Chains A and B, each alone.
Chain A
Amino acid sequence: MSNQQLPEILAAVFREIPNLVFTEQTARRLRVELRPDTLPALLELLKGRAGYLHLSAISCVDWPELDEFELVYHLWSYEVKTLVSAHIYIPKNPGRYVSVYDIFTPAAFFERDIHEMFGVYFEGSPDMERFILTEWTGPPPMLKSFSSLGYVEETFKWEQYSPDWLKEIQANGGGIVE
């Protein structure tokens, strides 16, 4: 998009990475899409040249139709004062990616979290042990194929509750919104 508003320091970094597409979403928000193999290089460059010291978060999104996971690295620079969200897509099978722990220490927590919630394995991450779901035996719960409601209905007992006032509302076409 408009290259003029982009700080020169960022533009220089983006030029180094092949196949990089960026869009300016709103003020101070840059959306960057790139190939998975170039992401560590981008992070390295951003950290080294543009002062992107703060890894705000790593988000994972499950896209079942594409059969891919989207990993989003949100980086903030205290100098440039712009958030760069780097999006990459990795195939669900085998669902492995490299860890960026050596560049950003906070990555360890987010990668660990994504590992237990989505089942993505990060090579080189210091700690892939479970943290939250230590006593969970089911599939990674954040996958779209896992239905929370389905699991609840299987596991827990419900008591039928249909008071008269609710029946009345339902008879008139109202009721609980699904």
Chain B
Amino acid sequence: MTTNIPITSDPNTDIACRTPDMQERSLLRKVIDRIADRCRSRSLFILHYCTGCGAIELPPTITSRFDSERLGIQPMVTPRQADILLITGYLSVKTLKRVILTYEQMSAPKYVVGMGSCTINGGMYWHSYATIKRLQEYLPVDMYMAGCMPRPEAIQQGFLQLIDNIDKGKAIAWQDYYQQYDKYLANQQALFGPDWHTPTDVIAEARHYELFTEKTTGEHTALLAKYASKYVTLQHEEHEEIVK
């Protein structure tokens, strides 16, 4: 019996037990991120929220005829467990509020896909008082699918492209929301009024993901802090500045 089981290990040789240095760490991170991206791209959940008429092409896409499940794409009913927020067409201002609420509840990484020309420039309803015109002003959009309405094949092609983008680490629009939160908030406030707020503390999340930039906060988040202070955690100095 000569099996040699090491009882102790030298901490400097075992990868799990020592602290990697900075360079090694970033390398490790890259590898793990790469693996995670690949896994993610193979299992995507679409949030089941039919916001416009494009939703009628989703059942054929998802069920037996076009079967997007073979791409690993499935509908999911709760925002917390969903990866893709599929905006299936026009958004009335009333729905946009709910969509933003939903988007902020989803956990990162999350992808927004605008489906149909209505999300791109207002489409059919370009002069309607009730619908928004360009989705990307309010939410960071990863991909648009053109068409009124896009055919299931087009939707599937879009999904394939999205999978590819995620795999390659290019679908990073969600980071933009944290990095430039003030810009998005400005557009939202222009539509919903200065006291618009959601129960999600986006700024704290931005810090958590280490995506906080100087554009995350600004005059519009200051308004947010004024009207809905319990949903914002500003750093102490920033608060002082705003008060000044």
Contacts and interface: CB of A to CB of B under 8 A. Distances in A.
> Is there direct touching of A and B in the complex, by C-beta distance under 8 Å?
yes
A138 B129 CA distance: 10
B129 A141 contact: yes
Contact of A155 (B97, B126, B134, B191): B191
B132 interface: yes
B91 to A, nearest CB: 12
B120 to A, nearest CB: 10
Contacts of A155: 129, 190-191
Given A157-B134, A157-B137, A152 B94 contact: no
Interface in A135-157: 135-136, 138, 141, 146, 148-149, 151-152, 155-157
A25 interface: no
Interface residues of B, number: 16
Interface string A109-143: 00000000000000000000000001110100100
Q: Is the interface of A mostly helix, strand, loop or mixed?
A: loop
B127 interface: yes
Q: For this complex, into which size category does the number of interface residues on chain A fall? A: 10 to 19
Contacts of B223: none
Nearest to A161: B121
B137 A152 contact: no
B94 A134 contact: yes
Contacts of A158: 133
Interface of A: 134-136, 138, 141, 146, 148-149, 151-152, 155-159
Question: Which 5 pairs, one residue from A and one from B, show the smallest C-beta to C-beta distance?
Answer: A149-B127, A156-B133, A148-B129, A151-B129, A135-B94
Given A152-B128, A155-B190, 5 more contacts: A135-B94, A136-B93, A136-B130, A152-B126, A157-B134
